[in-house]
Structures are given as C-alpha cells and as structure tokens.
Amino acid sequence: MKSLLQKARTEFENFFHYQPQCFVRAPGRVNLIGEHTDYNDGFVFPCAIDYCTVIASSKRQDNQVRVLTVNFNENDEFSLDKPLEHSKEHGWSNYVRGVFIHIKELYPHIAGLDLVICSNVPLGAGLSSSAALEVSIATTLKKQFNLTIEPKQLAKQCQKAENKFVGCNCGIMDQFISTLGKKDHALLIDCRSLETQSVPLPKGISVVIVNSNVKHGLVSSEYNARREQCEEAAHILHVNKLRDATMDLLEKNKSKMSDVVYKRARHVITENDRTLKAADALRLNDLATMSKLMKQSHHSMKNDFEITVPAVDTLVEIIENVLNEQGGVRMTGGGFGGCVVALAPTEQVDNIRQAVEKEYESRSGLKESFYVCHAVGGAEVINAS
C-alpha cells in the first residue's frame, strides 16, 4: 500500500506540478460464497482484500475536473458546469463521471478537483476493480467537500453510477464491501434488506485467489439467460424472488417447469442456505464445515447453474487435493472463466502455489495468476504525512 501511495503522490506532482491535499484508498473484493443469489434477493458473503485503488486529490477554484489514471497512462478533463456525457475515448473515465453525477445529485455544491488514480486491483479478474474505483472517487468527494453521506448511501450512489451511467446492471455487493469491509472479517449481506453482519475470519487463514485466465465468453448473454430462468422459476412457484422459495416448494412444483429451470432454482435456493450456514461456520471457527459448503457450492455452480468451465474445475480439483478439509475452495464470480477462491491455512499457501504451478498449465494449457490476500477494512482517508 505504501508503494501505491507514494506512486500516486509522485505522479500527481509530476502531472499537476504541485502537491496533493488528500489521499483515499478503497479495496477490491472477493466473494467467499453466495453466487448468483444477489439478483434473487438472497445472501452474499464477500470480504474486502488488500488490493486497492488509491486516489491523490486536491480541490480547485473552479468546476473543472482533471483526472489521470496511472495504470492506463491516460488523462481526461470535464466540467461540472454542464451535463456530463459519456467519454468515447476513455471507458475508465465513465466510472469517474458517473460517480460525480450521482453524488452531485445529492450534494450540488461539489466542485472541481485534480485527481490521480493508482490501482493494483487486477483488471478483468472478477475482483471488482470498478467498485474500488467508484468508491475511492466517492470517498474523495466526501472528504474534500465535507459531505455527510452515510456509508451505505455512498455505496448505493456508486451502484447507481455503474447501473445508470456506465450501463452495467451490477448488484450492490461490490460497492457495499468496498465501503463497509472490516479488517479480518467477511461481510454477510442481505441483498433484500441491505442489512449487513461482519463475521470474523479464523486466525491463521489466508484468502488465496487464483485466476484461471480463461477469457470470459458469452458472459452477458448467459448471465441474462440465468436471470430469466430464475424469474421463470419464481413465477411458477408464485414467489416474488427465489429468496422466498424452499426446496419443499420447488419439489412440489418440479413437474411444472423444465429440467433446466428446476436446476437453476435448486442452485439459488441451496446456495442461499449454504451462505447462511457458512457465516455460522466461520463464527464458530469451523473450517471443516466451511470446506464442505464451498465444495457443495462449486458442484452446484457446475452441475445446476452450469457456469464453470473445465479449466476452473481443474484449479478447484488441484487445490482440493492439497487442502482436504483444512480449507475450502470454489469458483467465485459470475462464471464462464475468471477466478477460484480458497480459504486456506497460511502454512498451506506455498503447497497450493506449488501444486498449481506443477499441474495447472500442463492440464489446461493456460498459465494461472496467483494472489494471496487478507481481509481488510473498507474505504478510508489515508494520513500520508
């Protein structure tokens, strides 16, 4: 983090030729369990990770916003005196612009800033680099203009920015955990009530994330199909969302739906149950139960929701063979590629790394990316003095 902070400071001084006033960080995240449950009003269980976005900023005397992103070595400039339009040149800038729009609708007095963005959240790995950017921008605005916005409201405005301005129909999980994360804890989120519970992670446990580096294919079309299938199941079951369904209700109505719709509903209903049980297991330091739940979750995503791919299944198998019941591993994210997440005793991390390095490429033809993480707190202003 210190190197990221120093880089943001140096790049700010080099680009704007004066010193920044304020530094903010916001973390990426990984979801430990609870997949495709969010849009079914269910439960998710992410933790914030120690890969983050840092922003250096200073207030201006006008309504111009000048912003440099170090990762892309690109800059953008826009005025708050007129309606903001999409940037056709810089996709990343639309996340920045969207947050300014949706914070400004609550706090019209916000004005111009000079900003430098530095991030080490891996792009395209499903670790929520977009939410880390949105929340870091919003937290910068909160600090620089003394906004009284509550953390959950800040997260909701960031979600609106992504939904309405960027045009990605994400749920609230990513922005919530980037805002509300707590050191050494995961966060159980009720996606209907938006109530949250921080749950401590067992001591001596590392969060291991391995990117399969399978390029996502058919994600948007398959994602939309899964949503439609869940909605069809809910309609047949006469419930508002699958959150309200039980396995008994599903079994009684199995003959009324196709086998595919039945399997999709079975995944969501059982995944919600697993997510609640996982939070209970971690409260009790019961890693053996957590291991079983993560294994069941992966099998459900593979067989019922059909969103895994062979390379991801291979990674899970390799890591399972190292961990046995000492920790859990499953696919994480929307599916069709991306990452697996493991909760593993820290002393097993090197064994996992060695096994993956030895077997994954020879079995899949792909080279993994390996990240060892720890649960960190949510967005904050950094004292960089």
The residues carrying an active-site annotation are 174
The DSSP symbol for 218 reads S
Residues 329, 335, 336, 340, Cα dihedral to 10°: -20
Read off the tokens for 95: 């996340």
Q: Where are the beta strands (DSSP E) in 60-128?
A: 64-69, 74-79, 113-119
Q: What is the residue-wise DSSP string for 220-281?
A: HHHHHHHHHHHHHHHHHHT-SSGGG--HHHHHHTGGGS-HHHHHHHHHHHHHHHHHHHHHHH
| Cβ-count burial 5-34 (b if 16+ within 10 Å, e if not) | bebbbebbeebbeeebebbbbbbbbbbbbb
Cα separation of 236 and 244, whole Å? Answer: 13
Neighbours of 72 (CB within 10 A): 13
Task: Indicate left, alpha or beta for 221 from its phi (over 0: left) and psi (-120 to 50: alpha).
Answer: alpha
Cα distance between residue 343 and residue 352, in whole Å: 11
